[in-house]
């Protein structure tokens, strides 16, 4: 492996660094974007039960805010539950934008890696070809071993850049789609909370529906 890296030249160093960063981002986002962590099941039903039993106090709201991304949004809505429906919805939307921003953390660097590493590989190809033609002008084409260094550098850097870029692009698209799906689910849950607390939807219906999904 070291010989391959050495043959690829100094451009292998940034490509390897990009691969390490991409791997760390993918592992971290796979852990953070788990659906159970972002959107705990039956959370709205639990909040309704607290409200119905008179147990919805500041302590529970603070714990809810720290429990999950969805809990953070719902907690803001609960803090403003005594205001008008529109005020409550606006506060939820503001909290939702902050939560979505947190869910999208590190996706831009991952997308940048997916775009940059093929260019690093291409640069390695160009440098390798320059070395090949320099050798040709110096010693001619009679000795293939003299040309092997530049050719191997061109091929290794190109393959390495693509090997990092392709998985990075795949995971970048995957995380984008997953976040979009999570956002839709969170919107549905927050709308449900607003309708329940403002009498637009029966709370018992929410509880029964949540239990039916178990």
Section 101-122 average pLDDT: 94
Section 184-210 average pLDDT: 67
Higher pLDDT, 73 or 56: 73
Segment (H or E) for 196:
helix 144-197
Higher pLDDT, 12 or 3: 12
What is the share, in percent, of the chain residues with pLDDT greater than 90? 40
Please state the length of the chain: 214
| Tokens 């720290």 sit on residue | 66
Per residue in 152-181, pLDDT (tens digit) is 777 888 899 999 999 999 999 999 999 999
Please state, in angstroms and as integers, the Cα–Cα distance from residue 151 to each residue in 1, 12, 13, 132, following that order.
18, 15, 18, 7
> What pLDDT score was predicted for residue 80?
85
């Amino acid at each position: 492996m070291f010989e391959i890296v050495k043959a690829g030249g100094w451009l292998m160093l940034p490509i390897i660094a990009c691969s390490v960063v991409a791997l760390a981002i993918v592992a971290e986002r796979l852990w953070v974007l788990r659906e159970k962590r972002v959107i705990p099941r039956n959370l709205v039903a639990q909040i309704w039960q607290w409200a119905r039993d008179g147990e919805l106090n500041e302590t529970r709201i603070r714990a809810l805010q720290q429990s999950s991304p969805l809990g953070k949004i719902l907690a803001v809505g609960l803090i403003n539950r005594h205001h008008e429906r529109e005020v409550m919805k606006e506060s939820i939307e503001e909290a939702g934008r902050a939560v979505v921003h947190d869910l999208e953390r590190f996706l831009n660097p991952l997308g940048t890696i997916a775009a940059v590493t093929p260019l690093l590989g291409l640069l390695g190809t160009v440098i390798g070809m320059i070395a090949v033609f320099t050798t040709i002008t110096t010693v001619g084409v009679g000795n293939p071993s003299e040309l092997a260094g530049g050719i191997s550098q061109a091929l290794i850097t190109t393959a390495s850049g693509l090997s990092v870029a392709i998985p990075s692009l795949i995971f970048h698209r995957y995380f984008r789609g997953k976040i979009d799906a999570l956002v839709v689910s969170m919107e549905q849950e927050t709308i449900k909370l607003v309708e329940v607390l403002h009498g637009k939807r029966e709370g018992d219906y929410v509880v029964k529906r949540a239990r039916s999904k178990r």
